[in-house]
Homo-oligomer: A and B are copies of this chain.
């Protein structure tokens, strides 16, 4: 297929998603117009509709892709439950700091999804929580952790860890490694393995 004038599909597609991700995270889905996204990409608003059927699908795709990448990135290597938990904690903090916009969006904009899209994303989030809950159950059964309710503890720990994106700034008082160490100490203590 011959290339038409001004056509740059290979780079425009990713740019649209990148601009949408950044703007949605900064100002909120409802507060961002298609024109703003187009301006950030350097095209006119109409051109966006070559890449997404509508604004809602753009948000849903961003959130679903994030959750799928997050789940794919997490690989439980098994073994000692405490070692598995430490890997999870450091993974979650690292991934959250590497992808602050996605993480922010994925728990701030669920309410702006249609019911169908919401259910799909919530299911993916549930799988991630289950991955952590499984580790906590294994630790409790092995007697190296004290966790009365693995599901509740998993949600509590994920909320605690994700919160790092609210205040961490590169170049601040603490570097990433120090922050991860602190959170690991807190998490280990929380599950009775301090």
Contacts and interface: CB of A to CB of B under 8 A. Distances in A.
A10 to B, nearest CB: 32
Contacts of A192: 189, 194
A122 to B, nearest CB: 11
Q: How large is the interface on A (under 10, 10 to 19, 20 to 34, 35 or more residues)?
A: 35 or more
A166 B155 CA distance: 9
A104 to B, nearest CB: 9
A73 interface: no
Interface string A168-194: 000000100001001101110111101
Interface stretch (A11-19, A40-48, A78-86, A156-164): A156-164
Interface string A25-63: 011111100000000000000000000000000000000
Contacts of A28: 28-30, 111-112
Chain A at the B interface: SS class: helix
A148 B112 contact: no
A75 interface: no
Contacts of A174: 149, 152
A179 B148 CA distance: 11
Contact of A149 (B146, B164, B182): B182
Sorted nearest first, the 10 A-B pairs with minimum C-beta distance are A159-B163, A30-B31, A160-B160, A30-B30, A190-B190, A186-B190, A189-B189, A189-B190, A156-B160, A28-B30
13 contacts: A27-B30, A27-B111, A29-B30, A29-B31, A30-B31, A156-B163, A157-B186, A159-B160, A159-B162, A189-B189, A189-B191, A190-B190, A194-B194
Given A30-B31, A155-B163, 17 more contacts: A26-B111, A28-B30, A28-B111, A29-B30, A29-B31, A30-B30, A152-B182, A155-B166, A155-B167, A156-B186, A157-B160, A159-B162, A159-B163, A160-B160, A160-B163, A189-B192, A190-B190
